[in-house]
Structure 1
């Protein structure tokens, strides 16, 4: 690399760091953009605290890199785009699930590769991320809609996932219907026969998909509850 090329690259990196979107949008600067992205990712990974990494993604990295992704999506051209991939992951990480799900649908359609540190495709990554989020939110009594149902529809009808992960979704959906006022799955807390049958059907599907789904006891309790209601 000549001195002039080095200087141009240095200047372009400096402009990207300043948030100069004209430089970011230039087709000639793609190589420079990826260098700058790699530097940001290395800086992110060097931060030891999870909370600080999330803040960095939300307050610094997404505002910096999103304009490039917006231009890429608006252009309608399809190619492997690491910036788009990282930003999609970061949207999940910061809890912006509405936009994350919209972007991940595009990433899956375009067959975008996930970032190098993620050893699974976007469908499996998103299914894992939303399920973990739903488990956390439900555990503290927070609402999980509409994102849980939106993602569950993708899991059931659109995404090709392994059986074990799909079974986890069906199991969570079934147990969620059985939650008592303390958030614990308890068949005796449910008096509606239709809800009990719906929960059992979901758990049965989890068991069909993965024999280690560990739903047998829950299904037995549902059956006992249905008998008790029928005899009442």
Structure 2
């Protein structure tokens, strides 16, 4: 067991190494290979984050801290050996918090393939965390008439094929994908604004899948009825 003096020395070395990595963009020397020392530095910074009350302040600090740890994670990712890496897992979460979705998804896909655990404070595994986060973002974007691609479809492909999510979240993805095809310029799902029968049929098929995954909670009946009405109207034109 290490003494208080040794622990203090290790934390000091860890903080020095993290700062050097931030300054140079590279993790170097023996400290570059010491996950223990990296986590000691991270522990100090997590305390700083915990002391902040405002989410905006936490985001600002995470943006400042990210360059300190990115070189360590990049070095780990280019190595041949894989193992549980809490630093890597934490930075994946931070990237989503910062809205850096492209990098976040690149790393999240690796983390999921490696079976990385989410940080200890989180109850969800990485597939559920990523799917929840991207769907919440996509719903807000779509409601404001903003683009959700390529990030929504990238995650939806996983949801539909290889991520074993719970039924409710899976249904939400199929429902959102269906409604996305129906949205007008204002972000409202409106079948009457769609002129292509094929698009309406694709949307309906996705809503059917949503209902199959969650017959009670999906609540797609009204949308499907409106699609059917629109298809009948187009046939009569």
Q: Aligned pair 1:72/2:76, yes or no?
A: yes
Q: Aligned pair 1:153/2:157, yes or no?
A: yes
Name the CA distance, whole Å, in 2 between partners of 1:71 and 1:34. 15
Q: In the alignment, what sits opposite 2:38?
A: 33
Aligned 8 A contact 1:131 1:169 in 2? yes
TM-score calculated relative to the size of structure 2: 0.90
Name the CA distance, whole Å, in 1 between partners of 2:37 and 2:31. 11
Summarize deviations over 1:28-63 as a string: whole Å, max 9, x none: x432221221221221122111112112112x2211
Gaps of at least 5 residues in structure 2 are: 22-26
Instruction: Map 1:4-23 to 2 at 5 A.
Output: 5-6=6-7, 8-16=9-17, 18-20=19-21, 21-22=27-28
CA RMSD in angstroms, aligned pairs only: 1.8
Gaps of at least 5 residues in structure 1 are: none
Summarize deviations over 1:159-207 as a string: whole Å, max 9, x none: 1111110110111111111112221111111111011101101111000
For these two proteins, the number of residue pairs brought into alignment is: 230
Aligned 8 A contact 2:14 2:31 in 1? no
Distance 1:224 1:68, change over 3 A: same
Deviant stretches of 4+, over 6 Å: none
Tell me the SS of whatever aligns to 2:172. helix
Superposition deviation, residue 129 in structure 1: 0.9
Name the CA distance, whole Å, in 2 between partners of 1:41 and 1:6. 17
Distance 1:65 1:223, change over 3 A: same
TM-score calculated relative to the size of structure 1: 0.92
Superposition deviation, residue 10 in structure 1: 4.3
Q: In the alignment, what sits opposite 1:54?
A: 59
- Greater mean alpha carbon deviation, residues 89-98 or residues 29-38: 29-38
Distance 1:84 1:112, change over 3 A: same
Name the CA distance, whole Å, in 2 between partners of 1:179 and 1:26. 49
Summarize deviations over 1:47-102 as a string: whole Å, max 9, x none: 111112112112x2211111110111111211110000000111111111111111
Summarize deviations over 1:4-28 as a string: whole Å, max 9, x none: 635632431341353343367443x
Instruction: Map 1:1-232 to 2 at 5 A.
Output: 1-2=2-3, 5-6=6-7, 8-16=9-17, 18-20=19-21, 21-22=27-28, 25-27=31-33, 29-58=34-63, 60-211=64-215, 212-232=217-237
